[in-house]
Amino acid sequence: MAPAGKQASLSTLIFHRVLPEPDPLFPGEMHARQFDAVCGWLKSWLNVLPLDQAVTLLKAGKLPARAACITFDDGYADNHDVAMPILRRHGLPATFFIATGFLDGGRMWNDTIIESVRDCEKATLDLTELGLGRQVFGTVADRRVAIDALIGQIKYRPVDERLEITEAIARLAGASVKPALMMSSEQVKAMHRSGMQIGAHTVSHPILMKLSDQQALVEIAQSKTHLEQLLGDSVGLFAYPNGRPNEDFNQATVELVRAAGFDAAVTTENGISRASDDIFRLRRFTPWDQSQWRFGGRLLSNLRRH
Residue ranges with strand state E in the chain:
9-15, 47-48, 67-74, 95-98, 124-126, 134-136, 197-200, 237-239, 264-266, 273-274
Minimum CB separation of residue 74 from Zn ion in Å reads: 4
Closer to Zn ion by Cβ: residue 74 or 219: 74
Rounded to an integer, what distance in angstroms lies between the CA atom of residue 273 and that of residue 97? 19
Closer to Zn ion by Cβ: residue 35 or 96: 96
Rounded to an integer, what distance in angstroms lies between the CA atom of residue 1 and that of residue 177? 49
DSSP strand pairing (124-126 vs 95-98): unpaired
Closer to Zn ion by Cβ: residue 108 or 120: 108
Minimum CB separation of residue 303 from Zn ion in Å reads: 24
Minimum CB separation of residue 140 from Zn ion in Å reads: 25
Determine contact, residues 253/240, Cβ cutoff 8 Å.
yes
Q: What is the dihedral of CA 56, 243, 235, 106, to 10 degrees?
A: -150
**Residue 29: which residues within 8 A CB-CB, separation 6 or more?**
17, 19, 22, 23
Closer to Zn ion by Cβ: residue 63 or 260: 260
Burial class (CB in 10 A: 0-12, 13-18, 19+), 291: exposed
Closer to Zn ion by Cβ: residue 18 or 275: 18
Minimum CB separation of residue 265 from Zn ion in Å reads: 13
- Measured from each CB, the residue nearest to Zn ion is 73
Closer to Zn ion by Cβ: residue 50 or 241: 241
| Interacting residue ranges for Zn ion, rule: CB under 5 A | 73-74, 241
Determine contact, residues 58/279, Cβ cutoff 8 Å.
yes
Supply the DSSP symbol for 241.
Answer: S
Closer to Zn ion by Cβ: residue 74 or 115: 74
Minimum CB separation of residue 73 from Zn ion in Å reads: 4
Closer to Zn ion by Cβ: residue 114 or 125: 114
Q: Residue 140, CB half-sphere, CA atoms under 13 Å: how many?
A: 5
**Helix-strand-coil split of the chain, %, nearest 5:** 45, 15, 40
Minimum CB separation of residue 155 from Zn ion in Å reads: 11
Minimum CB separation of residue 239 from Zn ion in Å reads: 7
Task: Let me know the angle formed at the C-alpha of 276 by 274 and 277, rounded to the nearest 5 degrees.
Answer: 70
